[in-house]
A and B are shown apart, each in its own frame.
Chain A
Amino acid sequence: MIARLLLGAALAASAVPAAAQDFVVNNARLVLGDGSDPIEGGHVVVRGGKVVEAGAGSASSATGLPVIDAQGKWVTPGLFAAMTDLGLWDVEAVDESNDTRPRGSPFGAALDVAPAINAASEPIEITRAAGITRATVTAYPGSTIFAGQGAVIDLGADPQAVEKARAFQFVVLGEQGARIAGRSRIAAHAALRNALREASDLSTRQDLSAAQDPRLAGSSAERPSDTLLTRFDAAALVPVVTGRQPLYVGVDRAADIRSVLALRQEFPKLDLVLVGAAEGWLVADEIAAARVPVLAQALLDLPAAFETLASTQSNIGRMQDAGVKVAIGGFWSTSTYARWETQFAGNLVALNKLPGAAGLSWGEAFAAISSVPAEISGMGGKAGVLKPGAHGDVVIWDGDPLELSSAPLRIFVDGVEQPLDNHQTRLRERYRTPAPGDLPKAYDW
Chain B
Amino acid sequence: MRTRVTLALAMAGLLAGCATTGAGTRTAAAAPPADPYPSTYRAYPGEATALVGATVFDGAGGRIDNGTVLFADGKVVAVGGPDLAIPAQYRRIDGAGKFVTPGVIDVHSHLGDYPTPEVEANSDGNEATSPATPEVWAEHSVWPQDPGFTRALANGGVTALQILPGSANLMGGRSVTLKNVPSRTVQGMKFPGAPYSLKMACGENPKRVYGEKGQMPSTRMGNFAVNRQTWLDAKEYAAGDRQKRDLAKETLAGVLDGRILVQNHCYRADEMALVIDMAKEMGYKVTAFHHAVESYKIADLLRENDICSAVWADWYGFKMEAYDAIPENAALLAQSGACVIIHSDDANGIQRLNQEAAKAQADGRRMGIDIPDAQVVGWFTLNAAKAMGIDKVTGSLEGGKMADLVLWNGNPLSVYSRPEKVWIDGALMYDALDRERRPVSDFELGQPGEGDVK
Contacts and interface: CB of A to CB of B under 8 A. Distances in A.
Question: Do A and B assemble together?
Answer: yes
Interface of A: 90-94, 122-123, 126, 140, 172, 174, 176, 250, 252, 254, 276, 278-279, 282, 297, 299-306, 308-314, 330, 332-337, 339, 343, 346-347, 349-351, 353-357, 398, 402-407, 423-424, 427-428, 431-432, 434-435
Interface in B56-89: none
A309 B418 contact: no
Contacts of A303: 116-117, 147, 443-444, 447, 449
Contacts of B317: 90-92, 122-123, 126
Contacts of B332: 428, 431-432, 434
A176 B300 contact: no
A306 B336 CA distance: 46
Contacts of B326: 424, 427-428
Contacts of B316: 122-123, 126, 337, 424
Contacts of B3: 297, 330, 332-333, 335-336
Contacts of A91: 317-320, 322-323
Contact of A309 (B414, B433, B447): B447
A432 B336 CA distance: 10
Nearest to A279: B448
B34 interface: no
B92 interface: no
A92 B11 CA distance: 11
Nearest to B299: A434
B336 A302 contact: no
A404 B359 contact: yes
Contact of B415 (A313, A350, A354): A350
B146 to A, nearest CB: 9
Contact of A314 (B6, B297, B453): B453
A282 to B, nearest CB: 7
A335 B432 contact: no
B347 to A, nearest CB: 6
Nearest to A254: B448
Contacts of B2: 252, 276, 278, 297, 300, 304-305, 308
Contacts of B10: 334-335
A330 B3 CA distance: 8
A-B residue pairs, 10 tightest by C-beta: A346-B415, A310-B449, A310-B448, A93-B319, A405-B362, A404-B358, A332-B3, A301-B454, A335-B6, A357-B453
Interface string B308-338: 0000001111111011111110001000100
Given A353-B418, A406-B362, A407-B366, A309 B448 contact: yes
A390 B336 CA distance: 46
Contacts of B414: 403-404
Nearest to B349: A335
Interface in B392-429: 409-410, 413-418
Given A337-B315, A404-B413, 17 more contacts: A123-B316, A140-B4, A174-B1, A176-B4, A279-B448, A303-B117, A303-B447, A303-B449, A306-B119, A310-B452, A312-B452, A312-B453, A313-B453, A332-B1, A353-B418, A405-B358, A434-B298
Contact of B7 (A309, A335, A353): A335
B361 interface: yes
Contact of A93 (B315, B320, B415): B320
Contacts of B299: 434
Nearest to B118: A304
B159 interface: no
B49 interface: no
B147 A302 contact: yes
A335 B362 contact: no
A434 B155 CA distance: 36
Interface of B: 1-7, 10-11, 116-119, 147-148, 151, 155, 204, 296-301, 314-320, 322-328, 332, 336, 346-348, 351-352, 355, 358-359, 361-363, 365-367, 409-410, 413-418, 432-433, 435, 443-444, 447-449, 452-454
A153 B317 CA distance: 21
B319 A302 contact: no
B415 A404 contact: yes
Contacts of B296: 427, 431, 434
Contacts of B4: 140, 176, 332
A437 to B, nearest CB: 13
Contacts of B318: 91-93, 333-334
Contacts of B204: 93
Tell me if A's interface is mostly helix, strand, loop or mixed. Answer: loop
Contacts of A330: 3
B445 to A, nearest CB: 11
A93 B11 contact: yes
A178 B147 CA distance: 25
A345 B339 CA distance: 31
Nearest to B326: A424
Nearest to B332: A431
Contacts of B315: 334, 337
B91 to A, nearest CB: 21
Identify which of A126, A334, A423 gathers the most chain B CB atoms within 10 Å of its CB: A334
30 contacts: A90-B317, A91-B322, A92-B7, A93-B204, A302-B116, A302-B348, A303-B116, A303-B117, A305-B5, A305-B116, A305-B118, A309-B447, A312-B449, A313-B155, A332-B7, A333-B3, A354-B432, A356-B435, A356-B452, A357-B453, A404-B358, A405-B358, A405-B365, A424-B327, A427-B324, A427-B326, A428-B328, A428-B332, A428-B367, A434-B300
Contacts of A405: 358-359, 361-362, 365, 413
Nearest to A354: B432
B302 to A, nearest CB: 9
Contacts of A403: 414-416
Contacts of A336: 3
Contacts of B322: 91
Contacts of A299: 348, 351
A369 to B, nearest CB: 13
A139 B413 CA distance: 35
Contact of B416 (A302, A349, A407): A349
B444 A302 contact: no
Contacts of B7: 92, 332-335
A297 B1 CA distance: 11
A339 B314 CA distance: 10
A343 B355 contact: yes
B320 A94 contact: yes
A304 B359 CA distance: 26
Contact of A305 (B117, B325, B435, B443): B117
A434 B416 contact: no
Contacts of B365: 405
Given A312-B452, A334-B318, A354-B453, A302 B367 contact: no
A350 B327 contact: no
Contacts of B352: 347
Nearest to A313: B454
Given A91-B317, A404-B362, A434-B298, A301 B435 contact: no
A347 B348 CA distance: 13
